[in-house]
């Protein structure tokens, strides 16, 4: 609990912290990676280089100043972070590490302004938020472990099958090395993965590209040239290779009810939407499945979607756009033609693609609670550059 005096200190100093947030975040990670090299592999080096993730963490602590009195609002605002933490197996013991290094960064950047009282107040605020996250994340980890076929921390899986879905997307069907059952995830969720890449431990997130079957999990990975994990999957891993999976998480899941679905994907963004489509169709819902690919060679899951269309001819409408050579694009005009009343809209793809789709749906009057999307990296606003 913060004292009233500490609350006043936080209110008085929050604007100064906000003004120096960039400097604080750019000091925080080097301090932490230097003092605690063991946590470094958890953080995606590309997100660090781009600065997207560092801003998210420190920004969240600052935003918490306004949300302290409403724990439910805090949990909602931090739901993406909570999911990422759960799927990477972040532990309570790691919270003091982040707290200590954040305080050191604040001290370095703000210098003499950080008196002992100021430092204590901010450490207290961090501790309060950390306790809330630790509690929610423990509940989530317990819930996943308690499911039939669930587990805690990492579990070894073996690649049982691979399939080329397009020129640069390959699926990997993985089965648990212990031969036991696999917990059901919600269609649309992703999983944390830990792999030894040439002697270096690397963590990443991948959507589960199929609905749960109790035995295997499927990832579908786009080959990023020079990408640490995806290149390793495409060039070094195959049937028989082992990888470690962490719990499934993510809140891009089907909203209950019988509302029709408008699923809009660009490129590898199909991975969470394909299981959502399958799940929705199996519930008898109508689905419009819009997919934008560069060209026919880069168009993944063609056969799988065609099979779905055959199984559900009255429920599924498939719309494909190939964008190469300006042949087409997903825009407000196309979406306006496809949108019907009460649709739940889901969209996943490159940042620019989602920005266009989001703006188009807003223009077409689709409210917030019917627009659902996920970013394949740290959260960033969907505003035109």
Provide the binding-site residues for ligand HEM, judged by CB under 6 A.
Answer: 39, 42-44, 47, 53, 56-57, 60-61, 80-81, 84-85, 88, 90, 94-95, 98, 126, 129-130, 133, 378-379
The one of ligand HEM, ligand FAD, none whose footprint includes residue 281, by CB under 5 to 8 A per kind, is none
Active site residue 347: no
Catalytic annotation, pick one of 29, 95, 346, 347: 95
Of the candidates 29, 64, 126, 137, the residue annotated as catalytic is 137
- Of 78 and 316, nearer to ligand HEM (C-beta) is 78
SS3 221: strand
Helix (H) or strand (E) holding 106: helix 95-110
Among 253, 348, 360, 375, smallest CA distance to 292 is for 348
Give yes or no: 137 in active site: yes
Nearer to ligand HEM, 172 or 376 (CB): 376
Rounded to a whole number of angstroms, the minimum distance from the CB of residue 90 to ligand HEM is 5
Encode 43-80: b = buried (16+ Cβ within 10 Å), e = exposed. bbeeebeeebbbbbbbebbeebbebbeeeeebeebbeb
Q: Say which entry of ligand HEM, ligand FAD, none residue 25 contacts (CB below 5 to 8 A, set by partner kind).
A: none
CB–CB of 332/360 below 8 Å? yes
Give residue number: closest CB to ligand FAD.
227
First-last CA distance in the chain: 41
Phi–psi pair at 65, nearest 5 degrees: -55, -40
Partner from ligand FAD, ligand HEM, none contacting 171, C-beta within 5 to 8 A by type: none
List contacts with ligand FAD (CB under 6 A).
Answer: 44, 46, 190, 204-207, 220-222, 224-231, 250, 268, 271, 374, 376-377
Coil/strand/helix, residue 120: helix
Q: Which one, 126 or 346, has the nearer CB to ligand HEM?
A: 126
Instruction: Compute the C-alpha angle 8/9/14, nearest 5°.
Output: 105
Single out the residue of 217, 201, 251, 212 nearest to residue 86, CA to CA. 251
Q: Which residues are catalytically annotated?
A: 95, 137
């Amino acid at each position: 609990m913060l004292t009233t005096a500490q609350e006043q200190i936080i209110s008085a100093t929050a604007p100064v912290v906000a003004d120096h947030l960039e400097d604080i975040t750019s000091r925080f990670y080097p301090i932490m990676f230097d003092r605690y090299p063991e946590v470094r592999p958890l953080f995606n080096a590309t997100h660090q280089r781009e600065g997207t993730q560092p801003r998210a963490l420190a920004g969240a602590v600052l935003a918490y100043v306004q949300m302290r009195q409403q724990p439910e609002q805090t949990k909602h605002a931090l739901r993406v972070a909570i999911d990422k933490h759960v799927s990477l197996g972040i532990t309570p013991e790691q919270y003091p590490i982040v707290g200590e290094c954040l305080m050191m960064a604040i001290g370095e950047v703000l210098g003499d302004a950080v008196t002992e009282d100021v430092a204590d107040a901010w450490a207290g605020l961090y501790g309060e938020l950390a306790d809330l996250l630790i509690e929610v994340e423990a509940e989530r980890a317990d819930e996943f472990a308690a499911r039939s076929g669930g587990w805690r921390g990492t579990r070894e899986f073996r690649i049982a099958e691979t399939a080329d879905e397009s020129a640069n997307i390959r699926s990997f069907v993985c089965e648990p090395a212990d031969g036991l059952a696999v917990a059901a995830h919600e269609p649309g969720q992703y999983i944390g993965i830990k792999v030894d890449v040439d002697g270096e431990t690397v963590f990443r997130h991948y959507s589960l590209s199929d609905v749960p079957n109790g035995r295997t999990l499927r990832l579908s990975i786009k080959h990023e040239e020079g990408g640490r994990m995806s290149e390793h999957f495409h060039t070094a891993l195959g049937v028989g290779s082992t990888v470690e999976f962490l719990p499934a998480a993510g809140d891009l899941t089907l909203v209950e009810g019988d509302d029709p679905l408008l699923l809009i994907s660009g490129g590898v963004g199909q991975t969470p939407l394909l299981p959502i489509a399958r799940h929705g169709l199996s519930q008898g819902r109508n689905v419009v499945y819009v997919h934008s690919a560069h060209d026919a060679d880069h168009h993944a899951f063609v056969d799988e979607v065609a099979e779905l269309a055959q199984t559900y001819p009255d429920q599924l409408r498939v719309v494909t756009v190939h964008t190469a050579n300006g042949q087409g694009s997903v825009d407000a005009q196309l979406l306006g033609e496809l949108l019907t009343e009460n649709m739940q809209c889901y969209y996943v793809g490159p940042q620019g693609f989602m920005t266009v789709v989001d703006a188009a749906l807003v223009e077409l009057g689709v409210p917030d609670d019917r627009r659902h999307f996920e970013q394949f990296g740290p959260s960033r606003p969907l505003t035109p550059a």
